[in-house]
Amino acid sequence: MKIREIKEILGAELLCGECLDGDVFSACCSDMMSDVLAYVKDQGVLITGLVNPQVIRTANMMDMVCVVFVRSKIPTDDILELARESGIVVMRSDLRAFDACGLLYSAGLSQTSGDKHA
């Protein structure tokens, strides 16, 4: 799935990042960053309602390409700056995490769809 499709499916607002044609092979949804760090997936998207710089660092560590802040959360400028430095696309959506995950899963993205790339 392309990052552009994620934006469309979630009706999300793009906050930073330009390369929306990048591929995403897996998704992870959590507000606990250590849980995210426990499962390596390439080219993933992180869906979270947690808003702090550690979200971007965690995504960076995991080589994730996109972060979606759900539940109408708005990241601060320093968080977006970190994302720019790391080349991570950031969006925000008014959806709740459960709904965002459901929509992406129904559209073919899953936690395991990235396994062949792990």
Partner 1 sequence: MPDVLKFHFDVDGSDFSSAGEASVLVKKKLRQLGYPADIIRKVSIAMYEGEINMVIHANGGTADVEVGEKDITIILKDEGPGIPDISLAMQEGYSTARENIRVLGFGAGMGLPNMKKYTDSMDIDTVIGKGTTITMKVNL
Cα angle value 84/70/88 (rounded, 5°): 20
**Both tokens assigned to 46:** 């992180």
Residue 1 · residue 21 · CB < 8 Å: no
Q: Give 27 or 59: the residue with its C-beta nearer to partner 1.
A: 59
Burial 14-31 (b: 16+ CB within 10 A, else e): ebbbeebeeebbbbbbbe
- What are the φ/ψ torsions at residue 27 (nearest 5 degrees)? -135, 155
Q: Give 31 or 94: the residue with its C-beta nearer to partner 1.
A: 31
Q: Give 5 or 63: the residue with its C-beta nearer to partner 1.
A: 63
Q: How far is the CB of 25 from partner 1 (least distance, A)?
A: 14
Q: Give 19 or 40: the residue with its C-beta nearer to partner 1.
A: 40
Q: How far is the CB of 108 from partner 1 (least distance, A)?
A: 25
Chain positions contacting partner 1, by CB under 8 A: 31-35, 37-38, 40, 48, 50, 52-55, 57-58, 60-63, 78, 86
Q: How far is the CB of 87 from partner 1 (least distance, A)?
A: 11
